[in-house]
Amino acid sequence: MPQNPPDFYSILGVFRDATQEEIKRAYLHSAQRLHPDKNTAAGETELFLTIQQAYEVLSNPNRRKQYDLTLPSEAFTEKHKYIRYAVQYSRPSLVYLQEKQILYALVKIEPSERQSGSLPAPPLNICLVLDRSTSMQGEKMNILKDTAVQLMRSLRAHDVLSIVTFSDRAEVVVPASINTDIKKHADSIQKITPSGATEIFQGLNAGLNEIRKTISPDRVNHIILLTDGNTYGDEQKCLALAEKAALLNVGITGMGIGYEWNDVFLDALAGKTGGSSVHISQPRDIEHFLIEKFKSFSNIYADEVNLEIRLRDGVETNFVFRLQPDGGQVDVASPLRLGPILRNAPLEILIEMIVHPQALHNGPVTLLEGALKVSVKSDPMPVAPLLIRLNREVKDEPAASEPPKSILKAISQLTLYRMQERAKVAAEEGRYNEASQQLQRLATHLLAQGENSAAKTALLEAQNLENSHAWSASGIKDIKYQTRALLLGGGKEKN
């Protein structure tokens, strides 16, 4: 029997209608990862040659046209070798109206059934970027140093852990290396002494340089930034560096200790790479958060999870929030950087779309079409994109059926999170009474859900805003991260 021709589109990870520019970009990305000068692992030279062959055919319009004639017809399917997705909607159909409508879509992405078995944990290439400014002295730094040594002792033979400290300058305490002299580096870690001011860019830049020494597509390449303060004057440089890290498939997690750090900045910084920020209110919790983060790295199935979206005229993506594995707001600019897919938990995002009347017509309407692109750690070959389509029927009357409970819960919790965001904006603009009222409404909803501790915090902050026209040192961060925890299903104790 004649064999089917190799699927050069899948090899490059593009759709069959890809433009010449998209084909070129996909080839350059794959070639950079698998070039024999950088990768000497068995089989990777052959992979590079296969990618080169695919590009030689598809980049030539005449050869591509002839090649396309040999391919079987392609029909839209949700089946994929590596990943699958499912969607739940807040309403079964849209309605013909002369006003805008809001539609929520809860998208769950996970490994396909054929890939859901046991897979080896991916090797790590992690850099700890640690704030050693004067404010870190004492318990914070002592716990941080002990935890760094503990993590180093837990490394497997093929893992890489580098450590960079920063104040107003950066220092590489543990350089990136596969073979680590644990005793020597443990001594170096214990000698870290806090001093100086906080300039995060210095640390991030040195950390990214360490990551690049052993960067590889089959590794989890990630920076963990820990700080207890604000950086001054270099925020834009930090954000530009995060965009550079994202292009290299290097993730960033921001961990803020105490209450003096800028949560909006750390959210934006990490969000550029599909990461998120973490609030560590007490120094004693540093060890727990760092160890849990390392455990999550070992469970990564795929990363570089980007959703390139095209919207129908008259449709807007107003808000995108990642529910799990790490909660956080996602920048709505395409591509959406969604964060990793874990082996033991799906990636879930909630998309809020605004649909204007001009988007509606007879029959089903495709509101959003997206190409989901991932990098699977167990396979160095580029993975073909998965086409995602969000469709709804349009009817004359609204449907009587209720939305699924899972999406109702997600929308309800998201509403609480956005209430505290609106309160924060109102306070920043000097509308303190309005901010206080938002927090009082938030407290009422939290009490109704049994979240007594979070409700108490919101009420105290509402009173504080009325009396002093300012947040308390801890209030805004406690409220933000408590309501974010609700979205993850991790509500606080019900006192």
Mean pLDDT over all residues of the chain?
Answer: 87
**Same domain as 63, residue 210:** no
Sheet of 101-111: strand order equals: 83-89, 101-111, 347-355, 315-324, 328-330
Model confidence at 265, pLDDT cuts 50, 70, 90, reads very high
Q: Looking at residue 78, what is its pLDDT? A: 46
Q: What is the DSSP letter of 434?
A: H
**Whole-angstrom distance, CA of residue 349 vs CA of residue 305:** 12
Q: Looking at residue 205, what is its pLDDT? A: 97
Residue 76 belongs to some domain of the structure: no
Residue 384: give the domain boundaries: 83-118+301-395
Among 253, 277, 298, the domain boundary falls at 298
Residue 401 belongs to some domain of the structure: no
- Closest Cα partner for 15 from 386, 324, 483, 388? 386
Place of tokens 């990551």: 211
Strand partners, 316: 354
Q: What is the CATH number of the domain that holds 346?
A: 2.60.40.1510
Residue 1 belongs to some domain of the structure: no
Q: Looking at residue 62, what is its pLDDT? A: 93
Q: Looking at residue 41, what is its pLDDT? A: 46
pLDDT digits (tens, 9 = 90+) for 396-420: 888 888 888 999 988 988 898 999 9
Model confidence at 371, pLDDT cuts 50, 70, 90, reads confident
Residue 358 belongs to some domain of the structure: yes
Check: CB of residue 78 under 8 Å from CB of residue 385.
no
**Whole-angstrom distance, CA of residue 320 vs CA of residue 370:** 14
Q: What is the CATH number of the domain that holds 274?
A: 3.40.50.410
pTM: 0.84
Asked whether residue 135 carries a pLDDT value surpassing 90, the answer given is yes
Asked whether residue 376 carries a pLDDT value surpassing 90, the answer given is no
Question: Which is more confidently placed, 73 or 18?
Answer: 18
**Same domain as 200, residue 104:** no
Amino acid occupying residue 143: I
Asked whether residue 6 carries a pLDDT value surpassing 80, the answer given is no
CB burial readout 420-459, b (16+ within 10 A) else e: beebbebbeeeebebbbbbbbbbbebbeeeebebbbebbb
Among 29, 45, 68, the domain boundary falls at 68
Q: Looking at residue 217, what is its pLDDT? A: 81
Residues 472-483 have a mean pLDDT of 88
pLDDT digits (tens, 9 = 90+) for 248-259: 889 999 999 999
**Same domain as 112, residue 21:** no
Question: Which is more confidently placed, 459 or 180?
Answer: 459
**Same domain as 130, residue 268:** yes
Asked whether residue 430 carries a pLDDT value surpassing 90, the answer given is yes
Q: What is the DSSP letter of 100?
A: -
pLDDT digits (tens, 9 = 90+) for 61-80: 999 999 988 887 654 444 67
Q: What is the CATH number of the domain that holds 13?
A: 1.10.287.110
- Of 41-45, 261-265, 355-359, 445-449, minimum mean pLDDT range: 41-45
Asked whether residue 368 carries a pLDDT value surpassing 60, the answer given is yes
Q: Looking at residue 328, what is its pLDDT? A: 86
* % residues pLDDT > 90 (the chain): 57
Query: How many residues are present in the chain?
Result: 495
**Whole-angstrom distance, CA of residue 390 vs CA of residue 370:** 9
**Same domain as 285, residue 156:** yes
Residue 207 belongs to some domain of the structure: yes
Dihedral pair phi/psi, residue 344, rounded to 5°: -110, 10
Residues 181-207 have a mean pLDDT of 94
**Whole-angstrom distance, CA of residue 201 vs CA of residue 194:** 17
Q: What is the DSSP letter of 3?
A: P
Residues 321-346 have a mean pLDDT of 89
DSSP 3-state percent helix, strand, coil across the chain (nearest 5):
40, 25, 35
Amino acid occupying residue 139: E
Amino acid occupying residue 130: L
**Same domain as 374, residue 426:** no
- Closest Cα partner for 165 from 187, 140, 198? 198
Model confidence at 432, pLDDT cuts 50, 70, 90, reads very high
**Same domain as 281, residue 155:** yes
Question: Which is more confidently placed, 324 or 180?
Answer: 324
Sheet of 251-257: strand order equals: 170-174, 160-166, 124-131, 220-227, 251-257, 277-280
Q: Helical H runs in 380-451?
A: 405-428, 432-448
Residues 281-308 have a mean pLDDT of 92
Residues 276-289 have a mean pLDDT of 94
Residue 169 belongs to some domain of the structure: yes
**Same domain as 181, residue 204:** yes
Strand 93-95 versus strand 341-342 pairing type: unpaired
**Whole-angstrom distance, CA of residue 159 vs CA of residue 176:** 10
Check: CB of residue 298 under 8 Å from CB of residue 126.
no
Asked whether residue 492 carries a pLDDT value surpassing 50, the answer given is no
Torsion region of 111: left, alpha or beta (phi above 0 gives left; psi -120 to 50 gives alpha): beta
Cis peptide before 382 (omega within 30 of 0): no
Model confidence at 211, pLDDT cuts 50, 70, 90, reads very high
Place of tokens 């021709």: 5
**Same domain as 288, residue 171:** yes
Residue 78 belongs to some domain of the structure: no
**Same domain as 245, residue 165:** yes
The number of distinct structural domains making up the chain is 4
**Whole-angstrom distance, CA of residue 209 vs CA of residue 127:** 10
- Closest Cα partner for 295 from 206, 224, 196? 224
Q: Looking at residue 50, what is its pLDDT? A: 83
